Amino acid sequence: DAGITQSPRHKVTETGTPVTLRCHQTENHRYMYWYRQDPGHGLRLIHYSYGVKDTDKGEVSDGYSVSRSKTEDFLLTLESATSSQTSVYFCAIRGSGGDSNGYTFGSGTRLTVV
């Protein structure tokens, strides 16, 4: 999607290794989110950010950490990857305008942990 890029698009990693996924935006939006998508669960929030260095946990944050050192980048790290973290990960951004208007989702990162 325009204005938001996720990298890598696909990754295969081994159990126990650390993995970092990157979300980059060019919209200067304040709010950024990481979700994971799994069959039968829809999308579930992992972590979110409401500004540089301001982050908080979502509903499925165990085993994940995040960092946001600048407005445009929001990094998701799997500290020690497990097979249960095989999933599709989506980043989303939102501006500060009212009425919940401006969520934009990235194209996703498909992560396989073997």
Partner 1 sequence: AQSVTQLGSHVSVSEGALVLLRCNYSSSVPPYLFWYVQYPNQGLQLLLKYTSAATLVKGINGFEAEFKKSETSFHLTKPSAHMSDAAEYFCAVSYALNFGNEKLTFGTGTRLTIIP
Binding site for partner 1 (CB under 8 A): 1, 31, 33, 35, 40-45, 48, 50-51, 54, 56, 58, 90, 92, 94, 96, 99-101, 103, 105-108
Give the amino acid at 42: G
Cα(22)–Cα(12) distance, rounded to whole angstroms?
A: 15
Nearest distance from C-beta of residue 107 to partner 1, angstroms: 5
Is the previous residue joined to 39 through a cis bond, with omega within 30 degrees of 0? Answer: no
Nearest distance from C-beta of residue 16 to partner 1, angstroms: 28
State the residue for tokens 């990693």.
13
Nearest distance from C-beta of residue 100 to partner 1, angstroms: 4
